[in-house]
């Protein structure tokens, strides 16, 4: 009984301490994870997970889709801001506080189906121009791996169009997004594997630790109750099965 009373007291203290705090959540348009419906409503597997975990955490929030470079800059420079779905890579680890995973992605380099690109290894791929969008984690990975010719766009859709118009030779995308693009009739094919990472909420370093813990607890509960897998499957994505671990 004393334990229950103590827990209630802690929850009450959390609620009072942050009753006026609202978190601003930013993201980019990146279907099927994040996108706008025709009526302007935000949809996607990451959007639904974030909304669910924030409700569980009892934290008020606003959400806005914008170009990725601006979204991640706001999260790094503005208190009470988070960006999603951000890849949790070494270069970003200490720049943010993290709530993960919303998804786990395997990435590939893709080319057009009629492309003359013949790269079979990362070293061979470095002979070509690789397109990606500014401030995306793939830009960091390309630079870390020594790709000499990187073409940067302001968003994902522009890069896809450049690839289709053969203004770039290849671009990195998740296997999930590759399958979506193929289902939409885009004449693309996988050239070679590129990497794997966890994606989640990257929050400003000034975010209180108890808020981050509450958000992580909300996501953990969603995973444990199989809600994450249900959301992923609704958007045609492979379930992660993290509740089994």
pLDDT tens profile 68-98: 999 999 999 999 999 999 999 888 999 999 9
Using CA atoms, how far apart are residues 169 and 110, in angstroms rounded to an integer?
Answer: 9
DSSP 3-state assignment of 79?
A: coil
Q: For position 20, what pLDDT does the model report?
A: 54
Whether 103 shows a pLDDT value over 60: the answer reads yes
Section 214-219 average pLDDT: 98
Identify the helix (H) or strand (E) that includes residue 27: strand 23-27
Q: φ and ψ at 231, to 5 degrees? A: -65, -45
Q: What is the CA radius of gyration of the chain?
A: 19
Looking at every residue in the chain, the average pLDDT score rounds to 91
The larger pLDDT score, comparing residue 21 to residue 218, is at: 218
Using CA atoms, how far apart are residues 34 and 227, in angstroms rounded to an integer?
Answer: 17
0.85 surpassed by pTM: no
Identify the helix (H) or strand (E) that includes residue 72: helix 68-77
Q: How much of the chain, in percent, has pLDDT values that exceed 90?
A: 80
Domains by residue range for the chain, with CATH = 2-104+199-244 (3.40.190.10), 105-197 (3.40.190.10)
Contact 57, 217 (CB under 8 A): yes
What is each CA distance from 18 to 80, 82, 166, 207, in whole angstroms? 11, 16, 51, 11
Q: Return the residue matching tokens 């992660």.
A: 240
Q: What are the E-state strand segments in 170-236? A: 171-174, 188-203
């Amino acid at each position: 009984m004393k334990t229950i009373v103590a827990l209630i007291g802690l929850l009450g203290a959390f609620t009072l301490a942050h009753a006026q705090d609202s978190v601003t959540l930013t993201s980019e348009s990146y279907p099927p994870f994040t996108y706008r419906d025709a009526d302007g409503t935000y949809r996607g597997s990451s959007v639904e997970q974030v909304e669910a975990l924030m409700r569980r955490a009892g934290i008020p929030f606003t959400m806005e889709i914008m170009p990725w470079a601006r979204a991640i800059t706001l999260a790094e420079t503005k208190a009470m801001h988070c960006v999603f779905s951000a890849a949790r890579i070494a270069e970003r680890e200490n720049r943010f506080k993290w709530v993960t995973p919303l998804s786990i992605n395997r990435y590939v380099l893709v080319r057009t189906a009629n492309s003359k690109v013949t790269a079979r290894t990362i070293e061979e791929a470095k002979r070509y121009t690789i397109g990606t969008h500014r401030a995306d984690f793939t830009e960091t990975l390309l630079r870390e791996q020594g790709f000499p010719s990187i073409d940067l766009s302001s968003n994902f859709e522009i890069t896809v169009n450049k690839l289709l118009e053969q203004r770039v030779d290849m671009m990195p995308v998740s296997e999930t997004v590759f399958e979506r693009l193929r289902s939409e009739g885009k004449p693309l094919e996988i050239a070679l594997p590129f990497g794997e990472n966890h994606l989640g909420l990257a929050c400003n370093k000034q975010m209180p630790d108890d808020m981050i813990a509450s958000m992580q607890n909300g996501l953990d509960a969603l995973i444990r109750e199989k809600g994450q897998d249900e959301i992923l499957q609704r958007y045609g994505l492979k379930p992660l099965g993290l509740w089994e671990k």
